Homo-oligomer: A and B are copies of this chain.
């Protein structure tokens, strides 16, 4: 039993797909790093934990594998993804391409309700930064991602929104793996600046700020290969 350090809250009695609910909980667990990269997620174990059959557990794992959060090997099972530095770079390259455009789109569509949502979001983000300890750090990473997801939802393009969901989730994994813990609070300031630009309807400024913001996030990573890459790959670790 590898996952079961943490009991997952029971699935709410929605008539919605149970597989989807399981996927969401697993995704949160992965993004929060309660499930470490490389952890095996066996169908049976997941099924038992969530009290469903392997069929449903399997469907949830398949979804996560499409999102790149889980890697599946035939006849071997599913494992929490362990993105390589190269993969990490590609994640951020993708974000550099997409997010400035999202910022522009969002700048033209912000309502006052959106602004309010951003403000509560950023307040919460600030709280987590003030706190110390690994739990707060996890919540901080998650909250920081939520800012970007909120922006994507305001932009009003559901396709890009889904892309961003994937990219943000993978970024969280990458940050957890390669982040230098120090500088993350400056990201919060940048979020505030971006919101300012959005509120002012200054699309190009919001876009430029976003681009810098992504650069800063990536610059905070240590993407050098740590031990010998051959060994690392051989161990898949």
- Residue ranges of A at the interface with B (Cβ–Cβ < 8 Å): 15-17, 55, 59, 62-63, 66, 68, 74, 87, 90-91, 93-94, 96-98, 101-102, 105, 157-160, 163, 167, 170
- Assess the A163–B66 pair: CB atoms within 8 A: no
- The minimal Cβ–Cβ distance linking A156 to chain B, given in whole angstroms, is 8
Given contacts A66-B66, A91-B159, 18 further A-B contacts (CB under 8 A): A55-B55, A68-B159, A87-B159, A90-B157, A90-B158, A93-B105, A93-B157, A93-B160, A94-B157, A94-B159, A94-B160, A97-B97, A97-B98, A97-B101, A97-B102, A97-B160, A159-B167, A163-B163
- Assess the B17–A74 pair: CB atoms within 8 A: yes
- Residues of chain B within 8 A (CB-CB) of A91 are 159
CA gap between A101 and B91 in the complex, in Å: 14
- Residues of chain B within 8 A (CB-CB) of A66 are 63, 66
In the complex formed, the residue of B with least CB distance to A101 is B97
Q: List 17 A-B contacts (CB under 8 A).
A: A16-B74, A62-B63, A63-B66, A66-B66, A68-B159, A87-B158, A90-B159, A93-B105, A93-B157, A93-B160, A94-B159, A97-B97, A97-B98, A97-B102, A98-B98, A159-B170, A163-B163
